[in-house]
């Protein structure tokens, strides 16, 4: 088997990156920020207690898998999808599609992506990448987080596709059946903005959206009571930086990418006011980045007493206020 | 963030950031990971100390090798149960040192796969 012709590109985030690259390779010119914005990817959620997470954590984007479904609806695209109970059948189905020269996106457990640095790889079942070929026992992978095409052994791919745990992939694969030639920006951009604002402002759930940022602000001061020792607290505080900057957000918890979307939306819709919103979101992103860099610094220095925890909390309350004002104003425009 | 402030020299881990370019447009740049460049040694040192501490607890028969690796990989009992394919109740038993020798070989294989180690490593750790 050989490699399917496929233009690989790095992207800020795995799901939006995989989708964007797949759509680009199918002839649709769309940027990752535009796809992210149209599919209302920007979000916030804080989880203080969870059976799936060993420690409180937060998310900064919509539920994994939603982008593809919304992209189908709003762009008028169509994807073939499949899940499998039997791993053998799942791997055979992948091989058959590759033999038909079809590049196949896979949902996988990030832990088994052996081509990525070891310290990056954690058990998280919602990584997306595209398989575009096979050479011997290795699959050829186009992964948004890797600068070039990668090789992944069939055993690692099988484990990754069929890992158990929260949001287990169940061998999920997809590929495009139909991709439109054009996008009706004047319809889909306002829809994406409206839904993003609704999610950040109106969902009646106390740990979601702006309420979620405030929940994070109020609970972070409790983190020292949840940790084994200072080293553990240091690890969890520094993970804030990883979740906001490193694990595929385009910087500042997707806020920089959303700013880019709004700038592009201003051009597509001839709405100059979106340039101002774009700048505001870039500034909000800068404040998230200040917060994440502060967290990394105090974590490294083990400077984690009550005063520093209070400072983290205050920064989050300020961010909540900024985002609330921003999304309220943005909501008025659609 | 301005493009000129975004560059990090870290070829081991590259990522895409969205920045403000010189002409005022926002767009992607490929750069290195800030936290890896500046803090990776701290991460490895912390992990090494944690691993030593946990393995000492296994040697003293305070926890089982299963509990040791669950902590290292940040896995809850519920998450581990789902990945290994057994009940949470059994996971909690296996976390106790007195139950480790009773774990069936097939289950030990599954644990090893989840932790990305060999079964022999679990056995050697338990036996000190």
Give the ipTM: 0.93
Residue of B nearest to A275 (CA): B25
Condensed to tens digits (0 to 9), the pLDDT of residues A12-50 reads: 999 999 999 999 999 999 999 999 999 999 999 999 988
Q: What are phi and psi of A12, to 5 degrees?
A: -70, -40
B26 interfaces chain A, CB cutoff of 8 Å: yes
pLDDT at A52: 85
Interface size A-B, in CB pairs within 8 Å, comes to 127
Interface contact B28-A250, CB threshold 8 A: yes
Interface contact A163-B83, CB threshold 8 A: yes
Distance CA A240, CA B75 (A): 18
Q: Which of residues 70-89 of B touch A (CB under 8 A)?
A: 73-76, 78-79, 82-85
Interface contact A289-B30, CB threshold 8 A: no
Which parts of chain B sit beneath pLDDT 50?
A: none
pTM: 0.94
CA A107 to chain centroid, in Å, comes to 13
Contact A131, A157 (CB under 8 A): yes
Interface contact A53-B76, CB threshold 8 A: yes
Of A44, A42, A41, A55, the residue nearest A227 (C-alpha): A55
B13 interfaces chain A, CB cutoff of 8 Å: yes
Measured from the Cβ of residue A125, the count of other Cβ atoms closer than 10 Å reads 25
| Adjacent-strand bridge partners of A45 | A59, A208
Helices (H), A5-153: 14-25, 32-38, 66-75, 87-99
Q: Tell me which residue in A52, A163, A234 faces B78 most closely, judged by beta carbons.
A: A52
Interface contact B1-A252, CB threshold 8 A: yes
Of B86, B43, B92, the residue nearest B70 (C-alpha): B92
pLDDT at A263: 98
pLDDT at A70: 97
Residues of B with Cβ-Cβ distance to A231 under 8 angstroms: 46, 49-50
Q: Tell me which residue in B12, B28, B50 faces A231 most closely, judged by beta carbons.
A: B50
B91 interfaces chain A, CB cutoff of 8 Å: no
pLDDT at A3: 85
Which parts of chain A sit beneath pLDDT 50?
A: none
Interface contact B15-A12, CB threshold 8 A: yes
Interface contact A168-B14, CB threshold 8 A: no
Q: Tell me which residue in A32, A147, A289 faces B14 most closely, judged by beta carbons.
A: A147
pLDDT at A1: 60
Question: Measured between CA atoms, how close is B92 to chain A, in angstroms?
Answer: 13
Interface contact B33-A246, CB threshold 8 A: yes
């Amino acid at each position: 088997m050989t490699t399917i012709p496929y233009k690989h590109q790095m992207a800020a985030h795995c799901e939006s990156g995989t989708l964007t690259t797949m759509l680009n390779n199918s002839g649709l010119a769309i940027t990752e920020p535009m796809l992210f914005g149209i599919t209302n990817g920007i979000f916030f959620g804080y989880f203080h207690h969870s059976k799936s997470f060993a420690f409180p954590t937060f998310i900064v984007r919509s539920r994994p898998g939603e982008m593809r479904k919304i992209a189908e609806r709003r762009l008028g695209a169509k994807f073939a999808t499949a899940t499998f109970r039997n791993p053998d059948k799942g791997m055979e189905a992948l091989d058959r599609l590759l033999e038909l020269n079809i590049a196949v996106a896979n949902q996988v457990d990030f832990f088994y992506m052996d081509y990525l640095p070891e310290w990056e790889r954690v058990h998280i079942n919602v990584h997306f990448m595209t398989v575009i070929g096979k050479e011997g026992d290795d699959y050829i992978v186009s992964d948004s987080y890797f600068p070039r095409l990668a090789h992944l052994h069939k055993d690692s791919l099988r484990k990754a596709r069929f890992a158990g745990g929260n949001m287990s992939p169940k061998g999920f694969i997809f590929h495009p059946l139909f991709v439109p030639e054009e996008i009706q920006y004047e319809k889909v951009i306002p829809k994406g903005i409206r839904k993003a604002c609704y999610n950040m402002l109106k969902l009646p759930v106390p740990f979601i959206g702006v309420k979620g940022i405030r929940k994070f602000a109020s609970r972070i001061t409790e983190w020292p009571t949840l940790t084994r020792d200072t080293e553990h607290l240091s690890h969890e505080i520094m993970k804030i930086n990883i979740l906001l900057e490193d694990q595929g957000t385009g910087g500042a918890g997707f806020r920089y990418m959303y700013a880019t979307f709004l700038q592009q939306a201003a051009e597509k819709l001839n709405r100059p006011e979106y340039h101002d919103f774009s700048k505001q979101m870039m500034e909000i992103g800068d404040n998230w980045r200040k917060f994440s860099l502060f967290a990394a610094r105090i974590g490294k220095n083990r400077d984690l007493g009550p005063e520093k925890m209070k400072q983290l909390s205050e920064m989050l309350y300020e961010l909540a206020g900024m985002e609330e004002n921003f999304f309220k104003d943005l909501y008025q425009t659609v | 963030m301005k493009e000129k402030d975004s560059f990090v020299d870290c070829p081991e881990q590259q990522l895409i950031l969205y920045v403000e370019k010189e002409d005022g447009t926002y767009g992607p740049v490929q750069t290195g990971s800030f936290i890896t460049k500046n803090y990776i040694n701290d991460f490895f040192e912390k992990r090494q100390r944690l691993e030593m501490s946990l393995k000492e607890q296994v040697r003293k028969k305070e926890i089982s090798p299963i509990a040791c690796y669950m902590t290292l990989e940040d896995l809850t009992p519920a998450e581990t149960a789902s990945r290994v394919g057994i009940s949470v109740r059994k996971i909690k038993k296996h976390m106790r040192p007195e139950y480790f020798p009773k774990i069936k070989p097939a289950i030990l294989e599954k644990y090893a796969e989840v932790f990305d180690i060999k079964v022999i490593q679990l056995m050697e750790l338990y036996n000190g």
